Amino acid sequence: RILAIEEEAFFNLNQLEILILNENKIENLNPNIFKNLSKLKRLNLTNNSIEFLEPYQFCSLKNLKTLNLFSNKLKSIEKCAFK
């Protein structure tokens, strides 16, 4: 199971359209982790341990159609996380 994802883990995957990271133990998402995934359409983060979404967390995901955060430990979502 994945506990953490390094900031540049997806850096060279700019054609990626679907990213499934469900059923892990991810607690934190680096604010820039998705910055090069401009073609991403589906992101599944279900069943992790994410507590917070940083400002502008998903702002570079201009083509994102589906974001699944079900069954996490979300305590706070910055209002600008999705801008």
CB proximity list for 24: less than 8 A, separation 6 or greater:
1, 2, 3, 47, 48
The one-digit pLDDT tens for each residue of the chain (83 residues) are: 999 999 999 999 999 999 999 999 999 999 899 999 999 999 999 999 999 998 888 989 999 999 999 999 999 888 788 77
Tokens matching residue 50 = 């994410």
Q: Residue 69: its pLDDT value, please?
A: 96
Reported pTM: 0.92
